[in-house]
Structure 1
Amino acid sequence: MPKAFKASKDFEESGLSGASGVSGASRVSGEFDYIVVGAGSAGCVLAARLSEDADRTVLLLEAGPPDTRPELSVPPAWPALQGTEVDHAYTTVPQAGAGGRAIPYPRGRTLGGSSAINAMVFLRGHRHDYDRWAAAGCAGWDFDALLPYFRRMETTTGRDPKFRGDSGPMRPAPASAEDANPLSQVFLDGAVAAGHPLTDDFNGAGQEGAGWLDLSIADGRRQSTADAYLHPVRAERPNLTVLTDAAARRLLFDGNRCTGVEFRRAGETVTARAGAEVIVASGAVDSPRLLLLSGIGPADELRQAGIAVRHDLPGVGRNLHDHPLCPVVYEATRPVPAPKTNLGETSLLWRSDASLPGPDMQLMFIHLPYVPPTMEAPPNGFTFGVATVPQSRGAVRLADADPDTAPLIDPGFLDAEPDIRRLLHGIEVAREIAATGPFARWGAHEVLPGAPVTDEADLRRYLTAATGTYFHPVGSCAMGTGPDAVVAPDLTVHGLEGLRVADASVMPTIVSVNTNPAAIVIAEKAADLIRGARA
């Protein structure tokens, strides 16, 4: 039988304190006010905000190890983190739209979660991205309602105070003049030469065009949400307990009320109880997975996996979607300087159709050849990463009832014809920019898919072979009021008490850009919703 947390003496004698990644070992008891499952982009924010109330106790559980690996703080080292102990290193099921390939699907597995292993791009997205959430029934989630939270999360300098914050934990900023790769300016010059406008702040009034990206880099080091929110307060808050290497296995219930979490740590199965709420913040793969393991989800699928049905909720795991990313790779005759920041400092956002209310296309400029493992590229070059807002939808499912079995992840890449057509359009835009004078001075010539590849059928075959994940899974515990929604607009799980989900999985539709700031803003708002409910 699982054992419950007892006195702190018993906890320390079990060998789980100190260097194993525990803070707050001297104050562990059988019950906390709040248990946050997942110390990722959202979970670190939630734990820090909820523990601001000194009379409320918070337990934060993280399945992975502490964030002590040196490469975590080195901005250009992020690709080397994939497949290490700080990555769940998931793989999708074979993707029909991608030629039957099973695509590597990295997900952060350490304090900071995916914000500790991602490419550090800090983009909010367009106001329409959030206004459509509200229009679909999620009152209070429109852009204007979220703007105070976007401002609360950040400290910026020299930006429009109507849009930007000056006293928050995150410190997003463009690459400095001394660190910026010279090709970044070449991309902007090429975009202008191809007829695209410039913006001086993607997170300000100008949310479209070409421009410098804000990056989650502070003082030359990556700034994850653990760095920004969690580590600065851990030592000074006796009401906050952080456990790493603590993998949640199922949620505990008394009737319809969630009362705690069962997790595995140091070879033991342990239970922790929540007097107020359990907040699941494990991301778009592991949040629905935990609900499913706990018997919450589509009843037929649960029975098929050998899980007893606790609460039939058809939307759990459904609506998974992710930006598809297709590389257009060029070789240069001039040596491309080694990167000092995140490998991609500039980008272009635009609308594939002028009648759209906001951008649905992104061109991420990357300072090296970036291709799937199945392809080869020359060492000296650069990449236009073409991404789009997808119509394709997939799901997260269980393979069986064992919590140690990897989930079945199906983003449905390129299942929808409009996604393919928009990516073809994006390749055209990339080629137009690469054909301008600024790139000609670098001797740029296309190697993938290759300049001779112009026939649509051939380009479609290239999309099938080259398209993969942009690492932005969302939507698998979608927020809303309809029959397929998993959580209500206050993020409580429909039909249950004492349980919320607060991370990227609740996005009903994906934002038009990189999803990390959107996950953070969800957590910022969730903290206020939770504290308001408690009050």
Structure 2
Amino acid sequence: MLRLAATFVQLLALTRVCLAYTDALSELHARTISPSVASSTTYDYIIVGGGQAGLVIANRLTEDASKTVLVVEHGYLDTNPAQEDPSSATAYKQHLLYNLTSTPQTGLNGRSGLTVFAAAVVGGGSTINGMMLDRGAPEDYDNWSKLGNPGWSFKKLLPYFKKATHLALPDPAILKEFNITWDLSAYGSKDTPIEVSYPSYQYPAVKVQYQGMIEAGVQPQKEGALNAYALFWFPGALTKKEVKRSYAVSGYYRPVADRKNLHLLTGYRVNEILFNRFKRATGITFQARDTPAGENVQTAKAKREIVLTSGFLHTPQILQRSGIGPAALLREANIPVLVDLPGVGANLQDHAVGSTNFQFNTDIIPNPGSLTSNETFKAWADELWATNRTGPRSITVGNVGSWLPLPLLAQDDYKSIVATIKSQNVSELLPSTYDKTLIAGYKIQRNLIASSYSRNTFGAIELPFSGRGSSSLSLEHPLSRGTIRLNTTDIYAEPLVDYNTFVNPIDPLVIAKSVKFVRKWQSTPAMQQLSPVEVAPGADLQTDEQLVASLRDSAGPTTAHGCCTAAMSPRLHGGVVDEKLRVYGVSGLSIGDVSTIPLIPGSHTCSTVYAIAEHAAELIKKRTAGW
């Protein structure tokens, strides 16, 4: 009877939510424009990509009612209310993603057909992700500044992080039981667009795992948003009251969608950026995304600036199609070279990921598996969710983890690993298409990573936990570098993606060290109460060499954190944009998305993209203020 009542209440509540959500989305759909409007209007700004960064910049630029903005997005507005529920954090729907796979990965024993994660929906990666809104460590962003990008240190970026997000405090009972800590100085005021919060439930084994981490030598932090290394709690991108996804659509677009000076065109692909004879960007060509190349191509014009926010995948592709990129590649594709810029599509980074799995023979009940194995617990969880949106179903992917420094992972030999990094012949480890500027820039990156690897304030591996016996081990600062390059036989097809995962042998070695750390963690007195038994990779794999070999067969090249393919760095070091995010060699064109990152931060990228986009909008406003 309890189960039937819970189901009825849940269905009734879901019906109400669906109706309200559908009404809201219908209004948003009604406000999108037709291609004829876009092509017949001259705008102040055109934003190429209505993903996460594009919506942030559009919101800020249209604060001035006298300035007009067109946003062109390949995807559509999502209309599924479930996409705003916590469960969507682990349910990636294919229709919201581009459909492509990587080239064969030599560092992964030639494996091919590996999924490339890139969002094809309004709101981009904020619409379809795990809702982990953590930041990198201060050292991550300080390294950006050291690459020749003044104004991009952690201290300089912190105001933009705060401008985007505010924290809703956790429920008193949960914070007391699990000792959740925070520092409100890391966040903005309550009127900022994105709310982050903690769920109303945590599984009891999380306390055991947390204590085990401390016993394994990991230092707890008070606030991960200020000190994102070692052990800390982090909030998720969820509103506390409604327990719904807080993302670029809800925070930046929906509240301003009725602005007369903001136009959103969905379902259209931008083909090229147009330039005048002075190499100034003046407009774009675009066409319906599902039509053959060259069919019904239209043009939109911009007076002030065109801003690329098409992500790590398509920002470099659009630049290359527009004649900006490696000259040899453009000539092979029969594209006239406007600017020979080798860094376009280079410097690709992502968080490669390995895993371990332990069976808990004396697991605490309830645990995450109880939602499927225990009917009474499932009925209780369903009733809580249906009646007041609390309980286990308010959890996304978890809210606590460790960002493990190399000196902890490899106490006996981290110095020799760092020495090896510094002595490597990088030309042998980088893609053959990299020119001398990219090699020079990479050497500077390499030295910064090597230096940071020597310290305890720089997480080498991300290890989140949520009461399960399985662990993902994400490599936070890869030394390998990949490429995004046009398909020269069909430039309007999806580009060729080569992560180049594990080509640098240090990368799988660092993950191998983290596998050994997991074993240490599982053997702590705290964890022994769960009676953990290793299932994978298997206790018979003991040496670094054995673990590395296993990782080449099993690790993934991506955690959907692709970035860095139009990097902010000096042009002589392979950069694509300067510290003000302006594309080298042309005028009137800037980039404001994840592709501008020079070194991937040790975090999920969503929070960092908000800060980049907020900063980009401010830079654009300042340089065009007098026009």
2:46 aligned counterpart, secondary structure:
strand
Partner of 2:387: none
Q: 1:240 to 1:401 in 2, by over 3 A?
A: farther
Matching residue within 195, 211, 236 for 2:232: 211
Structure 1 residue 474 corresponds to structure 2 residue 563: yes
Partner of 1:34: 45
Structure 1 window deviating more from structure 2 (302-311 vs 121-130): it is 302-311
Partner of 1:277: 305
Residue 502 of structure 1: CA displacement?
Answer: 1.0
Partner of 2:396: 342
Partner of 1:89: 99
Aligned CA RMSD, in angstroms, stands at: 2.2
Q: Distance in 2 between matches of 1:95 and 1:227?
A: 38
Residue 215 of structure 1: CA displacement?
Answer: 1.0
Which consecutive residues of structure 1, in runs of 5 or more, have no partner in the other structure? Answer: 1-16, 370-380
Q: Distance in 2 between matches of 1:466 and 1:505?
A: 27
8 Å Cα contact 1:351-1:359 kept in structure 2: yes
8 Å Cα contact 1:38-1:282 kept in structure 2: yes
Mapping of residues 212-231 of structure 1, within 5 Å: 212-218=233-239, 219-231=242-254
8 Å Cα contact 1:322-1:473 kept in structure 2: yes
Residue 211 of structure 1: CA displacement?
Answer: 2.0
TM-score normalised to the size of structure 1?
0.89
Q: 1:54 to 1:357 in 2, by over 3 A?
A: farther
Q: 1:134 to 1:71 in 2, by over 3 A?
A: same
**Deviation string for 1:280-304 (max 9, x for gaps)?**
0111111101101111100101111
Amino acid at match of 2:234: L
Residue 361 of structure 1: CA displacement?
Answer: 1.9
8 Å Cα contact 2:90-2:397 kept in structure 1: no
Q: Distance in 2 between matches of 1:389 and 1:488?
A: 22
Amino acid at match of 2:237: S
Q: Distance in 1 between matches of 2:90 and 2:488?
A: 31
Residue 368 of structure 1: CA displacement?
Answer: 8.7
Partner of 1:46: 57
8 Å Cα contact 2:404-2:459 kept in structure 1: yes
Amino acid at match of 2:459: D
Partner of 1:449: 537
Q: 1:356 to 1:19 in 2, by over 3 A?
A: closer
Mapping of residues 68-467 of structure 1, within 5 Å: 68-82=79-93, 84-102=94-112, 103-157=114-168, 159-166=182-189, 167-173=191-197, 175-176=198-199, 178-204=200-226, 206-218=227-239, 219-235=242-258, 237-255=259-277, 256-265=279-288, 267=291, 268-333=296-361, 334=363, 336-338=369-371, 340=393, 341-353=395-407, 355-356=454-455, 358-367=457-466, 381-400=469-488, 402-467=490-555
Amino acid at match of 2:336: A
More strand by share: 1
Q: Distance in 2 between matches of 1:312 and 1:352?
A: 38
Q: 1:292 to 1:215 in 2, by over 3 A?
A: same
Residue 412 of structure 1: CA displacement?
Answer: 1.2
Structure 1 residue 58 corresponds to structure 2 residue 86: no
Residue 392 of structure 1: CA displacement?
Answer: 0.6
Structure 1 window deviating more from structure 2 (301-310 vs 57-66): it is 301-310
Q: 1:407 to 1:22 in 2, by over 3 A?
A: farther
Residue 439 of structure 1: CA displacement?
Answer: 3.3
**Deviation string for 1:463-488 (max 9, x for gaps)?**
10121112111111011123211001
8 Å Cα contact 1:55-1:239 kept in structure 2: yes
Q: 1:196 to 1:75 in 2, by over 3 A?
A: same
Residue 503 of structure 1: CA displacement?
Answer: 0.8
Structure 1 window deviating more from structure 2 (444-453 vs 516-525): it is 444-453
**Deviation string for 1:17-47 (max 9, x for gaps)?**
9886752569754211111111122111111
Q: 1:111 to 1:241 in 2, by over 3 A?
A: same
8 Å Cα contact 1:38-1:62 kept in structure 2: yes
8 Å Cα contact 1:24-1:240 kept in structure 2: no
Structure 1 residue 23 corresponds to structure 2 residue 23: no
Amino acid at match of 2:204: P
Residue 356 of structure 1: CA displacement?
Answer: 2.7
Q: Distance in 1 between matches of 2:481 and 2:37?
A: 44
Percent identity, please: 31
**Deviation string for 1:277-334 (max 9, x for gaps)?**
1100111111101101111100101111232222211110011111111111223344
Amino acid at match of 1:522: I
Mapping of residues 485-524 of structure 1, within 5 Å: 485-524=575-614
Residue 172 of structure 1: CA displacement?
Answer: 1.5
Residue 420 of structure 1: CA displacement?
Answer: 1.9
Q: Distance in 1 between matches of 2:204 and 2:352?
A: 27
Q: 1:509 to 1:161 in 2, by over 3 A?
A: same
Q: Distance in 1 between matches of 2:462 and 2:566?
A: 28
Which consecutive residues of structure 2, in runs of 5 or more, have no partner in the other structure? Answer: 1-25, 170-181, 372-391, 408-452
Q: Give the count of matched residue pairs.
A: 503
Residue 366 of structure 1: CA displacement?
Answer: 5.0
8 Å Cα contact 1:347-1:362 kept in structure 2: no
Structure showing greater radius of gyration is: 2
**Deviation string for 1:433-453 (max 9, x for gaps)?**
122344333343221102222
1:500 aligned counterpart, secondary structure:
strand
Structure 1 window deviating more from structure 2 (58-67 vs 402-411): it is 402-411
